[in-house]
Every structure is written in C-alpha cells, then in structure tokens.
Chains A and B, each alone.
Chain A
C-alpha cells in the first residue's frame, strides 16, 4: 500500500443540492470541524476559490478536498468531499463528480423544500448507484419547516423519515452526526489496489510549473511520482511529476491508492491531451479496458466574441486559450463578421456560463469585448439530404437550397406551488412549449400548518413539458421566477432536434445590415421579435450627430423600424477658473469610451447593443 490510508477507512462523497441550498456552507463547517483548515484560514464558502464565485456567492467549479476525521469509535478516517455547483448550466460538473464517489449528501433547504434541481440531482445520483444521505439544512431559520420538508423527501424519494438528518450548515448543529453518518452509510471504496492502475479524470487544470494537473479518482491500482502513465483515450504518455491531495490546498503525497481522490501532475502542456472523462493507466503493464467515461459535454449556446477597437485579436485568442485550459467546456473557433471584423464563435453550456466567461476575460485578462446575441445550434437538412450545423444566423443557407431546419428541444421540468400552475402553463404555451404531464409532490405526511413560504394547503407540482431550447435560452428562467414570486424552479435536459418553420431576422442600422445582430427565429414570431429588438436597440444606441434609422427585416421585407434622433446639444459647460486639463481629460475619457464602441458605418454602437436580444421585452 502506497497511499496513506487503508481503503476501508476512506469515504468518497459529494454534496448535491438545488442552487443556494447550502452545499458550500456545509463544506465550510466540515472543514472546520475536522480541523482541515484552522480558524485563522477559515472564510465563508472557502472552496469557492474563483473571484466570480465569491462575488456572486455561487459555485461554478466542483471542488475536491481531503479531510481527516475521527469517527465516533475513535478510529481515523479519510473523507474525500467534492462540493458541486447547483446551477443547471453546470449539471455536467455534478455528474462528473458523482462518478468519483460512493456516496452523496443530498441537501434540501428547510425553508424551500424540494426544488427542480433537487429532483434532477437525486436521479443523477441514483443512476450512479450512490448511497444518498438526505439532509434538511438551514434549520436555524425561523421560517424552517423541518417536518414538512422531511415528509416531502420521504414522499418524493422514498427515504425513511429517520434517515433524514436535520442540520444547520450555518451554526454547525448536526454536522458531527452527519460526518459519522457518512462513515456509517457510505460504502468504503473497493480495495482494488492489486489491479493495474485505472484512474478517472474528473477535472483538470493547467499549472504553469507542473503542466496539466489531472484531478482523479483512483479506481484500481495505485500511482506514485515518477510512474510513466498513459491517457487511454488520447494515447498520450507522460511522466508523473507529482501526486497529491487537496487539503484543501494541493499537497504532495507519496502516492494515491485505489479508492483515493487527488491530483496527478503530468507536465503536459495541453489540457486536450488529458481530457476529462479519460482513464489514466500505467504506460507499462497497464489496464486494457478504460473506465466508462462521461458523455461528451456539448455546448448548448453559441455567441460571437469580438474585440473592441482597443483590443487585439491575438490577445483575445491567447486569453481564450488560457481560459480553456481550466474550463474544458468552453469551445471556440475563429470567425469573421462584416460588421465586427475578426473574432471568435464560442460555445457555452448556458447563459450563465457565457456571462462568466465574458466576465473572466474582462477581469482576469483585461479585455473589452463585444458579445453577440446567443444562439442555439440548428441542424439544417439541405436539398441534397446532407446535414450541416448552424450556430450563426448568417450561416443559414438560402431557403431555396435547404430542405428543412431543425432546432434543439429540451425536456423541461418546472417545480411550482400549485397556485402558480396557471401562469407557468401560460408561459410554456407562449414559448411554443408542448405540455407533457403534471405530477403532485405528495406530502400527505406533512403537518397541517404551513409556513409563509410553503402554505400546506398548497401542494407542489412538477410540470413536465418540452420546449425549443431557443425559447428557454432567453429570460425563461427569470419569467418562471417572476411569475411564481420566486417559488418555482427549473431544470432541463436536451432531448433532440425537431423541424421548425424558422427564418432569419436581420437588423439594419442606418441602412446597413449588421450581421452580428441577425438572429434565427420562428416564422410566426419574427414580426413581434423584430419590433421588440429595434425598440431595444433604439434605447441602447446613443444619439449621434445625425438621425439613425434602425430596421428589422425578413428577407427583403422591412417589418419594423425605429429612429434614434439626432443629438441636439453636446457642449461642455463653463470652464471654471481655467481648469483646461480637466476639460481635456473629460474629452479623453469620452474618446476612450468611443474606442470601446464598434463603428457600423458612421454609427457608434456600444457593446451592450449586441446583446439587445436579452434586454428586449416580450
């Protein structure tokens, strides 16, 4: 045995929950109680290490950590925890984490009850045969309704009421019992350390000194530094520079044994050679069969990323390359826009992912960018029966050349208190949705008196429907929240491509077609969308020295028009006491601001305008 611990004393588990139900906060308490971090090092949501995560208070990347724990019988255990993100864009991070574990702690917020991602995550965990430890969190809050939420969990998932632990991740109550339950209930990993090495790569990261770090769960065998390893899918070989564990910072260990979670420093220069989901084995006497990997994570949403006047195209390429090293789900390829010049077409997991990539480029790489309207991928069946994929509206072939266009659809489930079923159905209808069924979350065991957030007289309902992905992309989630006063939640998965009557909607600014503003839309919606889009653009394009007409067109038909009136006055006021430098600096700042805009002909168009579609009223 090379590892530090007898596999029978190891437990690998992750924490799964709907967004904001307290995963990262629970991880904090566990780190504290096990003494993994000292009180001095402790800070809120410690495992959320990206600036954006800390600022937004959400987890984006799954994070692993190894904790020492003394079980109630006095024996030492090694607990490997993986904190996962709750947002639906990052569901794939959850499924990857699950494959590295034998158990999962399922959190449900005591003030909110089961939500859409709760359901989705439980099913995922079940698919992976994980032992689930259900807990109710936030019991310290006055509005917590523990019995009712427990009843809901037993009814929905068939847990026994006494299996469910009550915890406050904030004040720590119940967390020691929970850790003991992890040792009790989560099976130890199989002791396969005599078999040839097989380690599953569940994440990867690029480090300037150590090259690509593969985050692994060792399933069989063991690995130490200086071993020569082989990535089975890519057939790449590498020398192990270092193996280590997350404590929670990365710490070198002598080796990793079957059952353990840690990292392998490969010295490789490209994350592409060390793909998430691949199996690592030894170069000599390696395993013959790789582990079942992950289904490939396909980007759902595409958008163009263009440098503004001040930013260099090559700098943008470099920044994207570096970002991709730690975010394999980001894909990009160069493209050219008549209006915006050279840029990149990028694929994202969803709108939040897109927003985060943009923000990271702007903050970590100091780039000013224009992002174009997000689009889904369409499958175009050509007249000659060949099929092409189109994610950029201007790539849509001439109607005479194609047979049909297919758009991606989602299986959507909306979990809502029954009093909002009406508004939810209306929304689904308005978005071309096809209703499938509703199901009541039976909680007959619950006590009669409800709380403000969960009146007991109002049972909760899962609405299942299918919707075109394009309709869910833009502000569907916000609408769900608004129309249900925040109580309903949403989950979705991709189902397939279906034919639709789609057309390209073009936008002309001052008579000039702006390819970056074109979008693909349903024929029946084109008129309405065109109107909304030009109205939004009118507000986003600042007044210029001349009148700027903004038109929406389908083919050669103008279907909507707005005008940005000419600016009438723009002079600096009094030059007080001869402060000429200040005046000049004001104008310099203005000039900098103009640099950040894009010029379409003579018209200066700000970055936000290219995302007008997200701001338009429905």
Chain B
C-alpha cells in the first residue's frame, strides 16, 4: 500500500512575487517552535497509524534548504522513529540554489535525504530577477555540481516558462542549459498568475505585459521536443525524467493515493480503497492543517493521538483545520483529473478494482466526447491524453469533473 509523507516548510528568505504558497519571509524566529511541532505531528501520526511503512518522503515549501541542517536531522530522526522507512525510499528535499554550498549539501545528504529538487527556474539572470529569485544562473549551475560532489545521484530541477518578457529564444537557451547539466529529472511549469500576488497585480495594472497563451503553447512544444531529443521521457504534463527515475512521491498525487501532510497548511489524503484504514469512510478523506504558522505550532505541539481513526476523530486531530469526506463520484472524478495528467493515463482495470465500475461506465459522456474530439485515446486498457492535445488537458479534466458534479 502506498503512503507518502509530505513535510511543509513555511519559511523563505524572501517572498517571490508570483508565489501564493503558504510560505512567509521574516518569521525565522518561529523555526525552533515549528521544528518541535512538526516533529510531534510526525510522531503522533506514526503512532496513530501503528508505525506504517512510507513509500516516499518529501520536504517541500517554502524553502526546506533554508532550515538549519540540525533541524532537518531532527525531523529525519522523528520520521525514522515513527515509520518504517526502507533504505531505498525516495527522500526528496526542495532546495534553493543559494543555499547549496557543497558543505551544506553534504551535511543534508548525511541526514538521509537522497534526492534534491532544485528551484533553478531559469538560466537567464534577468528572468530570475523578474521572478524575484534570490539566486543567479551561476549559483544554479554551481548548485547542481555541488550536489553531485555531495553524493546526490538523483537530482531534479524546476524550470518556468511563459514569463513576461520571455522570448522563445531565451526559453530554448534555458532548456539547453538544463539538458547540459544531465540531471535525472526536470519539471517545467508554465507561470500561472495567481490572484492576490504582486505579479498578478502588476500585469492587471499594465506594469507587466500579459502572457500570450500562444507563445506559452509554443514554448511547451519546444520543451517536449528538446527534452525528448535529450533522452528524457515525459511521464506527466509538466514532468520529464531519465528512464525509470520518475518522482515516486509525486506519482502518489497523480495516482490519487494516500499520503500524510504535516506542517502549516499541508494537505493529506487517505484514499479510498481496500487495505486503507478501515475505520475511515470507504471513499477516503482529505485533510488540511491550519495555515497560520503560529496557530499551527500551538496545535501540532499539543497533539496526543490515540483511539480509533474515524472521520470524527480525524476532524479534531492535531493541527487539522478542515477535512473533506470524498464521495464516490468525487473520488472517481479526481482520479481521472489527476491520472490523466500522466502519459500512461488511467488503467481501466485498476479503476474498476478501486471503484467497482469501469471508466466508460462511470463517465459515459466525458469519455465519449473526449474520444470524439481527439483529446483522449485508449491504449490497450489504459485511457490517456493524446500527444497532440495534451496541452489542452484541462478540457478533458473539466468534462470528468463536470460529469462527477452531476
């Protein structure tokens, strides 16, 4: 059974203007309290689920690399104590290139982290400045080299395209540089302007040019071509890897399986299905920790788990702020929405095993319309986005969700 663990680190040295994550600059004074609180949350979850095995571990944020090494070590110790963590488990930590000196990375490697996801974003200093990133291109390249020296043999970098003022040529350049670094994994995301962020306000106010969706589409095609030519396999809409080196943790999300989320605003899911925690409703449950760091620390610190794990006890547990019980229809819709992001698509057999009904019976209209419009295709018993229309994935997801809404 799959069970991931996501640890949310809400600290950033500076806040980037496009970012609407639950992260904060200038609350470093909360770090010690936060570390103790998360450690407790980790411990209490482990005890409640009776020392379960983890299939992946992910430190995300925020900027986990901004945490002092001893704090990372402290969290790793709590995790080892409370869960079964086989030695080959994927343990990823998101790192800012500015934090990646060789010494730092060596120390982090020794805590048990075996995979880094480095927030490179761009190989153009002007673009980095526009994005409000605190690192430079040179630092990004140096970070990857240091990581190798520090013994990381599984590296991922994040890139962004479709930026204001970005031209195809500069994106081609970023892709080239990325390929030259020979990392195992590349994520490339189109910038989305989230409501309430300074960058969105700048675009709305005419201080930054609007992003041309056709140019972004062009860049996306370039990404697919360039990375494929360099030996990367696309396995998800925005993710590429060398063969066999996909992100195990992120696959948990896309397969709509179970993971625990700890830290302020972290999301977790105990998915529907046989073998899950049987006292929970059959259709599974999603839960979110309270967002403000101070409130989080207080509640996570005070948590003592125990008793049966039911929807009711979960709702009041630890730092959990909201829970959402998933209905069969929603669970099926979400499984399609997430699963179709993967190039392999969704297996009808596993869908049927999980929900007791085949995809085409659960979503007759969505499946039919998408097949007719060339958005989806059957490859054997798997339903997947066609290569041609993958960039229009939302159109397909939307139809499944609409049908799930009834």
Give the interface of A toward B (CB within 8 A): 545-546, 567-581, 583-584, 587-588, 590-591, 594
Q: Which residue of A is nearest B220, CB measured?
A: A569
Tell me which residues across on chain B come within 8 A of A546, comparing CB atoms. 373
Q: Are B392 and A591 in contact (CB under 8 A)?
A: no
Please provide the chain B residues from 184 to 236 with a CB less than 8 Å away from any CB of chain A in the complex. Answer: 187, 189-192, 213-214, 216-217, 220
Q: Which of A569, A572, A574, A575 is in CB contact (< 8 Å) with B213? A: A569
Quick check: is B66 within 8 A (CB to CB) of the other chain?
no
Q: Which residue of A is nearest B256, CB measured?
A: A580
Contact with A along B352-375 (1 / 0, CB 8 A): 000000000000000000000101
Q: Which of A570, A579, A580 is in CB contact (< 8 Å) with B394? A: A570
Q: Which of A570, A573, A574, A577 is in CB contact (< 8 Å) with B261? A: A577
Q: Are B286 and A568 in contact (CB under 8 A)?
A: no
Q: Which of A570, A577, A584 is in CB contact (< 8 Å) with B60? A: A577
Docked complex Cα distance between A567 and B217 (Å)? 9
**From A569, A572, A583, A594, residue with most partner B Cβ within 10 Å:** A569
Q: Which of A570, A573, A578, A591 is in CB contact (< 8 Å) with B267? A: A578
Instruction: Given A545-B392, A573-B189, A587-B394, decide whether A578 and B259 contact each other with a Cβ distance below 8 A.
Output: yes
Q: Are B267 and A569 in contact (CB under 8 A)?
A: no
Q: Are B397 and A569 in contact (CB under 8 A)?
A: no
Instruction: Given A572-B397, A577-B261, A579-B267, decide whether A584 and B391 contact each other with a Cβ distance below 8 A.
Output: no
**From B189, B265, B267, B390, residue with most partner A Cβ within 10 Å:** B267
Tell me which residues across on chain A come within 8 A of B324, comparing CB atoms. 581
- Please tell me which stretch of B36-44, B84-92, B105-113, B333-341 contacts chain A, meaning at least 4 of its Cβ atoms lie within 8 angstroms of it: B333-341
Instruction: Given A570-B392, A580-B253, decide whether A587 and B401 contact each other with a Cβ distance below 8 A.
Output: yes
Minimal beta-carbon separation of B259 from chain A (angstroms): 7
Q: Which residue of B is nearest A593, CB measured?
A: B398
Quick check: is B169 within 8 A (CB to CB) of the other chain?
no
Give the interface of B toward A (CB within 8 A): 6, 8, 21, 60, 187, 189-192, 213-214, 216-217, 220, 237-238, 252-254, 256, 259, 261, 265-269, 286, 324, 330, 333-334, 337-338, 373, 375, 389-395, 397-398, 401-402, 405
Docked complex Cα distance between A547 and B374 (Å)? 14
Q: Are A574 and B189 in contact (CB under 8 A)?
A: yes
Q: Which of B187, B266, B373, B398 is in CB contact (< 8 Å) with A587? A: B398
Interface contacts beyond A577-B8, A580-B253, A584-B337: sample of 19 additional A-B pairs, CB < 8 Å, sorted by A: A569-B213, A569-B217, A570-B394, A570-B395, A571-B237, A571-B391, A571-B393, A572-B397, A574-B187, A577-B21, A577-B267, A578-B259, A580-B334, A580-B337, A581-B286, A588-B402, A588-B405, A591-B401, A594-B402
Tell me which residues across on chain B come within 8 A of A587, comparing CB atoms. 337, 394, 397-398, 401-402
Minimal beta-carbon separation of B324 from chain A (angstroms): 6
Q: Are B334 and A568 in contact (CB under 8 A)?
A: no
Instruction: Given A580-B267, A584-B334, A587-B401, decide whether A573 and B190 contact each other with a Cβ distance below 8 A.
Output: yes
Q: Are B286 and A576 in contact (CB under 8 A)?
A: no
Q: Are A580 and B338 in contact (CB under 8 A)?
A: yes
Minimal beta-carbon separation of A592 from chain B (angstroms): 9
Q: Are B269 and A570 in contact (CB under 8 A)?
A: no
Docked complex Cα distance between A508 and B402 (Å)? 28
Docked complex Cα distance between A153 and B33 (Å)? 78
Q: Are A591 and B405 in contact (CB under 8 A)?
A: yes
Tell me which residues across on chain A come within 8 A of B237, comparing CB atoms. 571
Q: Which of B238, B268, B398, B401 is in CB contact (< 8 Å) with A574? A: B238
Q: Which of A545, A575, A583 is in CB contact (< 8 Å) with B373? A: A545
Tell me which residues across on chain B come within 8 A of A580, comparing CB atoms. 253, 256, 267, 269, 286, 334, 337-338
Q: Which of A570, A574, A576, A581 is in CB contact (< 8 Å) with B391? A: A570
5 A-B pairs with the lowest CB-CB distances in the bound complex, closest first: A568-B217, A569-B217, A591-B402, A587-B401, A570-B394
Tell me which residues across on chain B come within 8 A of A578, comparing CB atoms. 6, 252-253, 259, 261, 267-269
9 A-B contacts (beta carbon < 8 Å) = A569-B392, A575-B254, A577-B21, A577-B266, A577-B267, A580-B256, A580-B286, A581-B267, A583-B338
Q: Are B192 and A573 in contact (CB under 8 A)?
A: yes
Docked complex Cα distance between A575 and B214 (Å)? 22
Tell me which residues across on chain B come within 8 A of A590, comparing CB atoms. 394, 398
Docked complex Cα distance between A584 and B335 (Å)? 10
Q: Are B337 and A545 in contact (CB under 8 A)?
A: no
Q: Which residue of B is nearest A583, CB measured?
A: B337
Minimal beta-carbon separation of A84 from chain B (angstroms): 41
Minimal beta-carbon separation of A576 from chain B (angstroms): 6
Minimal beta-carbon separation of B314 from chain A (angstroms): 15
Minimal beta-carbon separation of A604 from chain B (angstroms): 11
Q: Are A567 and B392 in contact (CB under 8 A)?
A: yes
Minimal beta-carbon separation of A538 from chain B (angstroms): 15
Minimal beta-carbon separation of A562 from chain B (angstroms): 17
Q: Are A584 and B253 in contact (CB under 8 A)?
A: no
Tell me which residues across on chain A come within 8 A of B330, comparing CB atoms. 584
Minimal beta-carbon separation of B133 from chain A (angstroms): 16
Minimal beta-carbon separation of B387 from chain A (angstroms): 14
Q: Are B267 and A568 in contact (CB under 8 A)?
A: no
Tell me which residues across on chain B come within 8 A of A594, comparing CB atoms. 398, 402
Minimal beta-carbon separation of B34 from chain A (angstroms): 16
Q: Are B286 and A588 in contact (CB under 8 A)?
A: no
Q: Are B391 and A569 in contact (CB under 8 A)?
A: yes
Docked complex Cα distance between A584 and B268 (Å)? 15
Minimal beta-carbon separation of A457 from chain B (angstroms): 40
Minimal beta-carbon separation of B247 from chain A (angstroms): 12
Tell me which residues across on chain A come within 8 A of B401, comparing CB atoms. 584, 587-588, 591
Docked complex Cα distance between A581 and B324 (Å)? 9
Minimal beta-carbon separation of B130 from chain A (angstroms): 17
Docked complex Cα distance between A590 and B398 (Å)? 7
Tell me which residues across on chain B come within 8 A of A574, comparing CB atoms. 187, 189, 238
Minimal beta-carbon separation of B228 from chain A (angstroms): 18
Docked complex Cα distance between A590 and B402 (Å)? 9
Minimal beta-carbon separation of A481 from chain B (angstroms): 25
Docked complex Cα distance between A569 and B256 (Å)? 24
Tell me which residues across on chain A come within 8 A of B398, comparing CB atoms. 587, 590-591, 594
Q: Are B213 and A568 in contact (CB under 8 A)?
A: yes
Minimal beta-carbon separation of A567 from chain B (angstroms): 6
Tell me which residues across on chain B come within 8 A of A570, comparing CB atoms. 391-395
Docked complex Cα distance between A545 and B394 (Å)? 11
Minimal beta-carbon separation of A606 from chain B (angstroms): 16
Minimal beta-carbon separation of A603 from chain B (angstroms): 13
Tell me which residues across on chain B come within 8 A of A572, comparing CB atoms. 192, 393-394, 397
Q: Which residue of A is nearest B250, CB measured?
A: A575
Docked complex Cα distance between A594 and B369 (Å)? 15
Q: Which residue of A is nearest B239, CB measured?
A: A574
Q: Which residue of A is nearest B219, CB measured?
A: A569
Tell me which residues across on chain B come within 8 A of A571, comparing CB atoms. 190, 237-238, 390-394
Docked complex Cα distance between A572 and B330 (Å)? 18
Minimal beta-carbon separation of A599 from chain B (angstroms): 12
Minimal beta-carbon separation of A306 from chain B (angstroms): 21
Docked complex Cα distance between A34 and B194 (Å)? 55
**From A572, A578, A580, residue with most partner B Cβ within 10 Å:** A578
Docked complex Cα distance between A513 and B191 (Å)? 39
Docked complex Cα distance between A152 and B206 (Å)? 46
Minimal beta-carbon separation of B284 from chain A (angstroms): 11
Q: Which residue of A is nearest B237, CB measured?
A: A571
Q: Are B392 and A573 in contact (CB under 8 A)?
A: no
Q: Which residue of B is nearest A575, CB measured?
A: B253
Q: Which residue of B is nearest A579, CB measured?
A: B267
Tell me which residues across on chain A come within 8 A of B220, comparing CB atoms. 569
Minimal beta-carbon separation of A510 from chain B (angstroms): 14
Minimal beta-carbon separation of A506 from chain B (angstroms): 28
Q: Which residue of A is nearest B236, CB measured?
A: A575
Tell me which residues across on chain B come within 8 A of A545, comparing CB atoms. 373, 375, 389, 392, 395
Q: Which of A569, A581, A583 is in CB contact (< 8 Å) with B190? A: A569
Tell me which residues across on chain A come within 8 A of B405, comparing CB atoms. 588, 591
Docked complex Cα distance between A578 and B267 (Å)? 6
**From A545, A574, A577, A580, residue with most partner B Cβ within 10 Å:** A577
Minimal beta-carbon separation of B317 from chain A (angstroms): 18
